[in-house]
Amino acid sequence: MKMTKEGIQMSDERVFATYLIETPYPVEKAAEIMAGEQSTGTFIAVPGETTEIKRQHRANVVKIEELDSSITPGLPECHLSKGMEKPVYKRARVTLSFPLHNFGHSLPNLLSTVAGNLYELREFSGLRLEDLELPESFSKKYQGPKYGIEGTREFAGVYKRPIIGTIIKPSIGLPGSGYGPLVRELAEAGIDFIKDDELCGNPPYLPFEERVRIVMDEINRASEKTGKKVMYAFNITGEIDEMKRNHDTVVKAGGTCVMVSINSVGYSAVTHLNGYSEVPIHGHRNQWGAMTRSPFLGMGFLAYQKICRLAGVDHLHTNGLNSKFAESNESVVTSIRSLLTPMFGGYEAMPVLSSAQWAGSAITTYQQVRSLDVIHLAGGGILAHPGGAKEGVKSMQLGWEAAEKGHDLEVYANKHHELKKAIEAFGKK
């Protein structure tokens, strides 16, 4: 800490933010515009921006790594000065540092700084927040995942292998009378984890409390029969007070997980939920595509997952390999690994793999990630298995057995009909 002449304490700590940028202007000039816009400057010098204020509060350009260039802009509406009729759009990776005392230990104000008006600056035809490096002092304010990987395994009763799960389908519209038989079938099949779809929150045709009662009745009944209690992630997404009521409803009924749509409720709402949650928080990232699908806009997962972990999610969706979504396998693998990488010496969250997953997905996943600490969700890969849900669950377990032991999937399937049927049904698609 340091003191100003006014006697105000200033922290020496800084936040480092790394961006991918594209601009027709000199990269150094563009980087300085970014730094000024998100700290003490504006489009023109103002009397109040003294040398002392700039010294104490201005963002600094720490590093510039020039990349390739293009004659076509990544994004439209980039401003061109006179004499720039045929501009070359230069790309670079830029790291800025921001004084922590500009915003303090506050996720909302941190985001306003590192991902605020930057995206609208007219000098850029591309700008994307790729990563964040935060001072460890953030951990004093934000406790991060309360249960994480270890706590999730304790609630689920699953150790030394992935947690195998599925999603209620159809996503929306399933009546209460349809939930009981489906949950019963899955629970008796030996599933570890079931989640609501993000589309089903508290719909008028099936109020939340009624859904919880129906589901937990079946889970508890199956638990008495099998000795295993399925973890069910109930979607409690809603207004702040509604989320608290929904959480309490789940806990009172004996539920062991709640799900929240992070981008719908906001990081502060997740932080608030984490303050009182008595069960793991399953973080769904729906709307993520709008934030990341353009390579020249939005945010990369390395930055996003750090914010989500600070806010307190215990699980976070990453997509799965060879999924139905527009994300490369390389990106998915990087996302999974990032969640398993310690932050402030801990803060591990469980990656959630989903989308077009089946037993064979385990092979490539384990080869790339080399970790069993994942929740692997298969909707059709379990529910549409030719032998029914029970064989679908078993096929997923066998897929991971083969992956961990280094067996060829088809050879291993010769000894296990559940796996063989899965290959026949999903392996050629």
Domain with 71 in it: what CATH number?
3.30.70.150
Residues 230 and 278 occupy one common structural domain: yes
3 has pLDDT over 50: no
- Given 141, 169, 199, the domain boundary residue is 141
- Given 125, 141, 157, the domain boundary residue is 141
What is the reported pLDDT for 102? 92
Residues 74 and 173 occupy one common structural domain: no
Residues 127 and 212 occupy one common structural domain: no
Q: How many domains does the chain have?
A: 2
Q: Residue 422's CB: how many other CB atoms inside 10 A? A: 30
Question: How far is the C-alpha of 110 from the C-alpha of 372, rounded, in Å?
Answer: 33
Residues 329 and 419 occupy one common structural domain: yes
What is the reported pLDDT for 38? 81
pLDDT in tens, 251-308: 999 999 999 999 999 999 999 999 999 999 999 999 999 999 999 999 999 999 999 9
Mean predicted confidence (pLDDT) in 102-130: 95
Mean predicted confidence (pLDDT) in 140-146: 96
What is the reported pLDDT for 429? 59
142 has pLDDT over 80: yes
- The continuous run of DSSP H or E covering 275 comes out as helix 267-276
5 has pLDDT over 50: no
pLDDT in tens, 340-357: 999 999 999 999 999 999
Residues 116 and 155 occupy one common structural domain: no
- Given 86, 119, 141, the domain boundary residue is 141
Residues 52 and 172 occupy one common structural domain: no
What does the mean pLDDT of the chain come to?
93
Residues 50 and 119 occupy one common structural domain: yes
What is the reported pLDDT for 157? 97
Question: How far is the C-alpha of 225 from the C-alpha of 211, rounded, in Å?
Answer: 22
Residues 223 and 131 occupy one common structural domain: no
Closest residue by Cα to residue 15 from 119, 111, 93, 92: 111
Q: Residues 145, 309: contact at Cβ < 8 Å?
A: yes
Residues 134 and 262 occupy one common structural domain: no
Mean predicted confidence (pLDDT) in 110-114: 96
- Residue range(s) defining the domain that contains residue 31: 2-141
What is the reported pLDDT for 42? 56
Q: What is the pTM of this model?
A: 0.94
**Per-residue tokens: 426:** 């999903």
Residues 101 and 152 occupy one common structural domain: no
Q: Which residues contact 21 (CB under 8 A, 6 or more apart)?
A: 27, 30, 31, 34, 91, 92, 93, 94, 124, 126, 127, 128
Residue 293: which CATH number?
A: 3.20.20.110
43 has pLDDT over 70: no
> What residue type is assigned to position 121 of the chain?
L
